[in-house]
Amino acid sequence: MPENKLRIAVAYAGVNAEYQDKICKGILDAAKQKGFDTAFFCPLSNTTNHSLHDSGEEKIFDLINFEKFSALIVLPETIPTQEALDKILARAHQSGVPVISVDRKISGCHSVDIDYCGGLYELVEHLITKHGFTEINYVGAYENDLESDNRFAVYRKALKDHGIPYEKKRVCFSGFDEYKAVTKIREYVQQCGKLPQAFVCANDNIAMGISDELSRAGVKVPEDVAVTGFGGIRFSSAHCPSITTVAIEFVSAGESAVNIIPEVMKLGKGEFMHVRIKNRLSLSESCGCAAFGDDKHNTMIRDINSDNERFKTMSKRLIRMSEDLTYVNNFDAAFQKLRYYIEDIYVDRFYLCLNTHLENTDEKLKMDHCDYTDTIDCRIAREKGDYLPNFTFSRGEMLPALYSKNAFANVFFITPLHFQDRNFGYIALSCDGYIGSSVIFNTWKMNISTALENIRVRSKLTLYSSMLERMYVRDPLTNLYNRRGAQGKAAEQFEAAKSRGKMVFVLAVDLDDLKVINDKYGHLEGDNAILQVGNALSRVSKHREICARFGGDEFEVMAFNYSQKIAEEYVAAVQKMLDGYNKVSGKPYEVGASCGYIVDVPKEDDTLEDFIRRADTVMYETKKRRKRGREQNQ
C-alpha cells in the first residue's frame, strides 16, 4: 500500500435505515474502488431523547483523531443533536481536515447536496404528456415546511406550464402518514363523487398505502387511477403494483462525497466545492409504464423469507449469548465466552477495545469513567479466523489495523461499548461489504455492553463487600484483627486443638503509659505508639499467629500447635523490635509493652475466653513489675 494513500473518517449515527445504508454503501464502494482506507464512526442509535444512553453512544465521535485522516465525511441529518455535530466539526476544523457534508450545506464545509424536488417536475410532466392526465391530485407532507412547500411549488409549476388550472380541492397534506393520507383520499372521494386520474404522493410509503386502499375498494391501479411516489425505497419496486417514483440517488451522494476528496484537497483556504445530486425518474407499473411481472415480487419474497430465517436463527443465538454472558463473574471468562459468538457476525477482522481502567477494581480508580483512557487494551483480536494475543495501544491510534499496509483498502466500522453514559470502549470490525445495516448486530453489541456492566457492578460489589468485611473484623489503625475478628477466626481452631490435645498459645500485650503519651504529646503520638506495637506483633509472626487489637492499649495474640520455646522466642522478638524502634525513632518517649502469656493444652471445659483471661492475669503481673521498675529508675 503506498504511503500517501488517503484515509477517510465517516461520522454518522443510526443503522437499519435506508437513508444511512445507501449513503454509506456509496461511500464504501467508492472508497474501495479508489483504495482509500475508511473508518466509519457510528453510534447504532440516533435518537434525540437526550438520555444517558444517547450520551454514551455519541462518545464514539470523541475517539476520532483527525490528525490521522485526510478528510471527514459527515452525515449531519443523522447526528442526534446540534451540540454533537458542532463538536465534531469544531475538532475537524481545528485540525485542518477538510469536511464534506452530505445532504446539508454547512458554513466552512464542502457539500454534496441531495435534491429533494428534482425529478418531481418530470414525473408530473410524464403523467400529463405520456398519459394525457389533467386531473392530478397531490398528497403532500406538511404545510409551511420548506421542503414540502418546494415540492408543492414544483407540482403547481408543472400544471401551469402545461395549461392545467390548479384546483385547491385536489391537494391534501398527510405529514408522511400513510393512514392519514388514506383518510384524506376517502374524504375527497365522498365530496367529489369520483377519483382523479392520478395521485402524486409525497413519498413511496404513502403511494403504497393509497394503492392498497384503492385495491381493497375494488379500484384497479393503474387501469382506473395512477399512483406515484417519491424516494425510490426498496419496497416500492416490489410492491404490487410496483410504484412509479422519483428515486433519490443516496448511493450516488455517498460516492460523490468520496470522489471529490482529491479535488477538495487541492483547493485553497476559503475555497469550497459543492455538488448537487440529480434524482432519477423510475417508471413502473403503478402509472402503466411497465408490464406486470412476478420477478421482482418473487425475488423480494425470497429475500424476506431468507432474512426471516436468519433472524430466527440469530434470535435464538442472541438469547443463548445473553444467558451465557449473564453467568460469568469476571472479565476473562466473559471474553472467553464471547469468542464463541464472534463468528455469528461474519466479519474478516474483529477487535474488542476497552479502556484500561475497566478491569482494575482498585477503588482509587473511577470505574464509572466517561472518557476514553490514554491507552486502550485490545482484549479480543481476531483476523481471518485466527485469534491474536492481547495488546495495548495509544488512544490516538484508534486502531492499529487501520494503518495496515495491505493491497486492499482497510475499511472499519467502529461503534461504542457503554452502559448509559459509562464508557467501556468500542468494537471495531471489518468485512467485505457494508455492515451497518444489520439489526442483529445492535442487539449483539448490547449483550456485550450489558455483560461488561454486570461484571463491573459485581466487581465493585465484591470490593465494597470486602471493605465492609474488613471494617467488621479489622482494626482500622493497626490493620490487625479486632476482638470480633480474632475470636471468630480463632474459635474453631481452639476447639480443634482441644479435641486433638494440641498446645494453645495466648499472649496478652498492654502498651505501657499510653495515657501519659496522649496527655503529654497528643493523641496522634498515642496512635503512633499503638501502631508500633501492632507492627511489632505482626512482623515477628512466623507460625500463623492471629494478632489482634482488642481496644485502646490492649492486644492479644493467639496461635495453635505451639511450644514453650516458640512462645519465648516470639515475646523476645517483640521486645527486640520495640527496642530497635526506640533507638531510631527520635521521639521524646519510648514505646514499651507488658506481655503475659500461657502455653497449655485446653481441658474439656476450657474456652478461648478462659485462656485470654489467664494470659491477661499474667500480663497484669508483668505490667505491675515493669511500672515499679520505671518508678524506681526515676
Tell me if 485 sits within 8 A of 473, measured CB to CB. yes
**Which domains are present in the chain?**
7-111+344-438 (3.40.50.2300), 120-247+283-298 (3.40.50.2300), 483-633 (3.30.70.270)
Rounded Cα distance between 566 and 571, Å, is 9
In the DSSP assignment, the letter for residue 390 is P
Average per-residue pLDDT for the chain: 88
pLDDT, tens digit (0-9, with 9 covering 90-100), for 263-301: 999 998 889 999 999 999 999 999 999 765 556 666 666
Residue 541 has pLDDT above 90, yes or no: yes
pLDDT, tens digit (0-9, with 9 covering 90-100), for 604-633: 899 999 999 999 999 999 988 888 776 666
**Among candidate residues 403, 395, 308, 331, the one with its CA nearest the CA of residue 38:** 403
Rounded Cα distance between 170 and 198, Å, is 10
| Per-residue pLDDT, 254 | 96
pLDDT, tens digit (0-9, with 9 covering 90-100), for 19-75: 898 999 999 999 999 999 999 999 887 655 668 888 888 999 999 999 999 999 999
Assign residue 293 a region (left: φ > 0; alpha: ψ between -120 and 50; beta: otherwise): beta
- Sign of the dihedral through C-alpha 261, 264, 270, 271: negative
Tell me if 245 sits within 8 A of 230, measured CB to CB. yes
Q: In sequence order, what E strands does 31-79 have? A: 37-41, 71-74
| Per-residue pLDDT, 297 | 61
Assign residue 47 a region (left: φ > 0; alpha: ψ between -120 and 50; beta: otherwise): beta
Amino acid letter, residue 603? K
Residue 587 burial (CB count, 10 A):
15
| Per-residue pLDDT, 457 | 84
463 by DSSP, 3-state: which?
helix
Rounded Cα distance between 53 and 453, Å, is 13
Rounded Cα distance between 204 and 231, Å, is 6
| Per-residue pLDDT, 363 | 42
Sorting pLDDT into bands at 50, 70 and 90, what band is 139? very high
Distances (CA, A) of 459 to 38, 56, 328, 463, 527: 37, 21, 11, 6, 33
In 162-283, where does DSSP find H-type helix?
A: 178-192, 204-216, 250-259, 261-264
**Among candidate residues 54, 56, 51, the one with its CA nearest the CA of residue 453:** 56
CB-count exposure of residue 138 (10 Å: 0-12, 13-18, 19+): buried
- 627 pairs with which residues across the strands? none
- 128 pairs with which residues across the strands? none
Tell me if 81 sits within 8 A of 48, measured CB to CB. yes
Rounded Cα distance between 286 and 212, Å, is 11
Distance of CA 316 to the CA centre of its chain: 23
Tell me if 53 sits within 8 A of 420, measured CB to CB. yes
**In angstroms, how far is the first alpha carbon of the chain from the final one?**
89
pLDDT mean over 504-533? 95
